[in-house]
Chains A and B, each alone.
Chain A
Amino acid sequence: MIPMQADHDFQPPDWQTSGLSLYAKTAADVERALARPQRTTDDLMALLSPAARPYLETMAQLSHQLTVQRFGRVQQLFAPLYVSNACANECDYCGFSMSNRVRRKVLTAAELAMEVAYLKRQGFEHVLLVAGEAPRVAGVDYFERALQQLGPEVAQISLEVQPMSTEDYRRLHRAGLHAVLVYQETYHRPTYHQYHTRGNKADYDHRLAALGRAGAAGIHRLGMGVLLGLADWRLDSLMAAHHLRYLERRCWRSRFSMSFPRLRPAEGGFVAPHPLSDADLVQLICAWRLFSPDLELSLSTREPAALREHLLPLGVTSLSAGSSTRPGGYAVEPDIALEQFSIDDNRTLKDVVAAVQRLDYQPVWKDWDPQLHVSK
């Protein structure tokens, strides 16, 4: 086992104090931040602030340059595979919420095989397993079996499910798990509690420490995210940056990715209290790239096709495509609505690949090999 430090004591800095600093940033602060070869969280604060808005084009140019230099002219493609919409949480914005009267489905091994066979026919080698949070029907045993089943089928498997213990992450790592994604949703504790009212997810600290546990268990890639629209995106992203720096110092053998889920209409008619404009999203993506040249930035099909094409050269390094956000949505029962959120880029995979190529990027399907993984 690779030895790693296992302290999980990260707490974000004070929200209000940080807010005062961030909103006090001036054009001079932004210019100083832009001029630096390496940027601190203080520089990021300037780049996230309203003072940076007039510098959007400069930020975009720099972001594009840094991304091409670090990652090349390539875009990684992956597909989400929803294995379960059973959920014991109550999250106001989510279609899987426990109180929503929808049919619950957990894929059987046979159904999982059908779904992955469909994705493989499309060309996917990187699959992200997604599930609601229902440890009794989709717990560590279920995911361990799924990894053992899918391991020989695809090159890379990531997991976006409930936070687990270090020991459970270790089991899944041994079973071939490559990446763990746990989005904090919001770092603002009162907002967090306001929208996550029941179930294990109501435990803010357990969720906050999850990626540290996954890193300690040897997981190669750790995925972070803020659910954009729940709280002030500028401050929430700043907190995520502090979290990233904290994790990077401890889990130095893991790489990190950042996702940008922007709240979409979901079942229950939830309206985002702090919505982001497209310009906000552009500023956010560029600010992240300038802050962290090596961070993988991931964009899902939540965003509409035309916008995704504009965002793609700004710093994005991985894309989902041709996605279904419900269990069994690819091959088992493709016509039934049980979706977590509605997607806006409904293009077929072929169209997305064509667009990537048109923008002069090489689509990369495989960026990992199971043989690079030695399980102990």
Chain B
Amino acid sequence: MLTIANTSFSSRLLTGTGKFSNAGIMLDALASSGTELVTLALRRLDRRDRDAIFEPLQAAGYRLLPNTSGARTAEEAIQAAQLTREAMGTPWLKLEIHPDPRYLLPDPVETLKAAERLVQLGFIVLPYVHADPVLCKRLEEAGCAAVMPLAAPIGSNQGLVTAPFLDIIIEQSRVPVIVDAGLGAPSQAAEAMERGADAVLVNTAIATATDPVAMAAAFKAAVDAGYQARQAGLATPGLRAAASSPLTAFLESGGDTHAG
């Protein structure tokens, strides 16, 4: 079981709710992914009316992980978080501060500042960050419930381009490590799990697939497989056994030049 802030989840696949062509396909894909924790953006939430995405998600029993996408500073994120807690009735928060709208890369300075304050305000904070091991430790010390380092820029489908740094984060972390952003194929999600991630978050690769429901199932299987493989004890890639030893075979032929 994956445990975040004393809440247990049997699924290690977190999903997003953006980019789907309609709410029906989104709900079918989420069901097929087996996810229990889904993130959705405050900026998309219709706060005046019954929201077309929020309401059915709640009805289907998903735990919601509202995000602050759109915030450019700690101050904006904190204000958005407080409103979100009120509007969606949950203290869970995916803290996203990306002032750069092109690559949506997170601002480490503002994120740490906001995380420290939001933890004090009683939020369960899961910050989206660079694969920066020191930053992840600082966020852990600030009281974050998990860390969400990126594999690659959001939506880029590039896979685990930050792998060496993710390895260090996974090795050092005392809170769950959720690899977020950039996973474009189930094989990449499986690899993240094999490397020891506690969970992954996937949105674009599922939402923009030709068949989002089938792709969601594929990611589910991959995350399970990667996790099981990690638990089973992965074989370490060792030195290949050589059929013959052309350079050292002469040692076996007897006749040591120094032996009498």
CB distance from B158 to the nearest CB of A (A): 10
Is A103 in the interface zone, CB < 8 Å from B? Answer: no
- Contact: B42 with A369, CB < 8 Å? yes
> How would residues 44 to 73 of chain A score, 1 for a CB under 8 Å from any chain B CB and 0 otherwise?
000000000000000000000000111111
Residue numbers in B under 8 Å from A73 (CB-CB): 19-21, 207-208
B44–A366 CB distance below 8 A: yes
When chains A and B are docked, how far (Å) is the Cα of A255 from the Cα of B70? Answer: 11
Query: Whose C-beta in chain B lies nearest to the C-beta of A72?
Result: B19
Given A69-B155, A73-B19, A368-B43, check contact A255 B80 (CB 8 Å): no
A365 near B46 with CB under 8 A, answer: yes
Among the listed A155, A362, A365, A367, which residue makes an inter-chain contact with B22, where contact means beta carbons less than 8 Å apart?
A362
The range of chain B's interface size is: 20 to 34
Q: Name A65's closest neighbour in chain B (CB-CB).
A: B208
A248 touches B102 (CB 8 A): yes
Q: How far is the CB of A130 from chain B (nearest CB, A)?
A: 23
Does residue B28 face the partner (Cβ distance < 8 Å to A)? no
Contact residues in A for B20 (Cβ distance below 8 Å): 72-74, 362
- A361: chain B residues within 8 A (beta carbon): 21
A366–B53 Cα gap in the complex (Å)?
Answer: 12
User: Within 8 Å CB of A29, what residues of B?
Assistant: none
CA distance A350 to B183 in the complex (A): 37
- Report B-chain residues with C-beta under 8 Å of the C-beta of A252: 99-100, 102
Please tell me if the beta carbons of B101 and A372 are within 8 angstroms of each other in the complex.
no
Encode contact with B along A96-137: 1 for CB under 8 Å, 0 otherwise.
000000000000000000000000000001000000000000
**B63 sits at the interface (CB 8 A):** no
A248 to B22, CA, bound (A): 32
Q: How far is the CA of A99 from the CA of B247 in the complex (A)?
A: 93
Q: Output the nearest chain B residue to A71 by Cβ-Cβ distance.
A: B19
A306 within 8 A of B: no
- B1-44 contacts to A, CB under 8 A, are 18-23, 42-44
Q: Tell me how far the C-beta of B117 lies from the nearest C-beta in chain A, rounded to whole angstroms.
A: 13
Give the CA-CA distance A255 to B155 in the complex, in Å.
16
How far, in angstroms, from A371 to B68 measured CA to CA in the complex?
10
Question: How far apart sit A220 and B70, CA to CA, in the bound complex (Å)?
Answer: 10
- Report the separation of the CA atoms of residues A48 and B196 in the bound assembly, to the nearest whole angstrom: 47
Q: Is the CB of A372 within 8 A of B43?
A: yes
Rounded to whole angstroms, the CA-CA distance of A253 and B99 in the bound complex is 5
Q: Which of B71-79, B131-139, B187-195, B227-235 contacts its partner? A: B71-79
Q: Is the CB of A369 within 8 A of B83?
A: yes
Q: Would you list which residues of chain A between 336 and 376 have a CB under 8 Å from chain B?
A: 357, 360-362, 364-369, 371-374
- A2 sits at the interface (CB 8 A): yes
With known contacts A366-B46, A372-B79, A294–B73 Cβ distance under 8 A = no
- A254 at the A/B interface (Cβ < 8 Å)? yes
Whether B102 lies near A367 (C-beta < 8 A) is no
Query: Given A73-B208, A254-B101, A366-B46, are A371 and B21 also a contact pair (CB < 8 Å)?
Result: no
Instruction: Tell me if B75 and A357 are in contact (CB < 8 A).
Output: no
Interchain CB contact under 8 A, A294 and B101:
yes
Contact with B along A228-255 (1 / 0, CB 8 A): 0000000000000000000010001111
- Known A-B contacts A68-B208, A69-B157, A69-B204; the reply to A357 vs B43 at CB < 8 A is no
Residues of A within 8 A of B43 (CB): 155, 366-369, 372
Residue B185 interfacial (CB < 8 Å) = no
Q: Is B45 an interface residue (CB 8 A)?
A: yes
Inter-chain contacts of B70 with A (CB < 8 A): 368-369, 372
Pick the contact of A253: B19, B75, B101, B207 (CB < 8 A): B101
Q: In the bound complex, how far is the Cα of B203 from the Cα of A71, in angstroms?
A: 12
Q: Are B102 and A253 in contact (CB under 8 A)?
A: no
Could you tell me the distance between the alpha carbons of A304 and B75 in the complex, rounded to whole angstroms? 44
CA distance A366 to B72 in the complex (A): 18
Pick the contact of A357: B18, B22, B46, B208 (CB < 8 A).
B22
Whole-angstrom CA separation of A366 from B204 in the bound complex: 19
| A371 / chain B contacts, CB cutoff of 8 Å | 42, 79-80, 83
Question: How far apart sit A363 and B103, CA to CA, in the bound complex (Å)?
Answer: 23
Instruction: Write the B238-259 contact mask toward A (1 if CB under 8 angstroms, else 0).
Output: 0000000000000000000000
Alpha-carbon gap, A74 to B25, bound state (A): 13
Measured CB to CB, the closest approach of chain A to B15, in angstroms, equals 13
> Of the candidates A253, A254, A367, A369, which one forms a contact with B47 in the assembled complex, judged by CB atoms under 8 Å apart?
A369
Whether A374 contacts B79 in the complex (CB less than 8 A), given A2-B72, A73-B19, A294-B101, comes out as: yes
Pairs A–B under 8 Å by Cβ, sample size 8 = A68-B208, A72-B208, A155-B43, A252-B100, A254-B101, A360-B22, A364-B44, A372-B68
| A residues whose Cβ falls under 8 Å from a Cβ of B | 2, 68-74, 125, 155, 220, 248, 252-255, 294, 357, 360-362, 364-369, 371-374
- Give 8 closest A-B pairs by Cβ, nearest first: A72-B19, A255-B101, A73-B21, A371-B83, A372-B70, A253-B99, A360-B21, A369-B43
